[in-house]
Amino acid sequence: MTAMIRRKLSIVAILLGASLLGGCANFEPWVKPYERERLADPIMAFERDPVSAAYLYHVYESREGARGALGSAGGGCGCN
């Protein structure tokens, strides 16, 4: 009995996993590529001018105890 339940649960898990993976393959972005005009506007950039952003972070980090996690995704400070 227990083995049967385990087998059924396994089948359910496999089906669930497969449907989730299938969902990834057929992922429909809720913001379509042709709807990204505003996101692509330069005024929407987190750092429009990297040379300026880097300098300002340097000004802050030189005078404050905190450091890191101020850049874009992945951007930060390898330093201090």
Partner 1 sequence: MKGLRAPVHAAALLVATVLALGSSLSSAGVLPEDRADLLYHRYDGGGVTIDGPSLLVRKKFLEQFSVAANYYVDMVSSASIDVITTASPYEEERTQYSLSVDALRGKTSYSAGYSNSEESDYEANTAYLSLSQDLFGDLTTISMGFSRGWDTVRQRDVDGSGVDPNFEERTDRRTYTLGLTQVLTKNMILGGSYEVITDEGFLNNPYRTVRYLDEVGVVARQDERYPRTRTSNSFSVRTRYHLPYRAAVSGQYRFFTDTWGILAHTGELGYTHPWGSRWIFDGKLRYYTQEAADFYSDLFPRQDALNFLARDKELSTFVSSSVGLGASYEVPFKLPRFIKKGTLNLRWEHIWFDYEDFRDTRVNAPAGSEPLYQFEADVVQLFASIWF
Per CB under 8 A, residues contacting partner 1 are: 24, 27-31, 33, 35-36, 38-39, 41-47, 49-80
- To partner 1, the closest distance from the beta carbon of 18 in angstroms equals 19
17/60 with CB nearer partner 1? 60
3-state secondary structure of 75: coil
Question: How far is it, in rounded angstroms, from Cα 52 to Cα 80?
Answer: 18
- To partner 1, the closest distance from the beta carbon of 32 in angstroms equals 8
Question: How far is it, in rounded angstroms, from Cα 8 to Cα 14?
Answer: 10
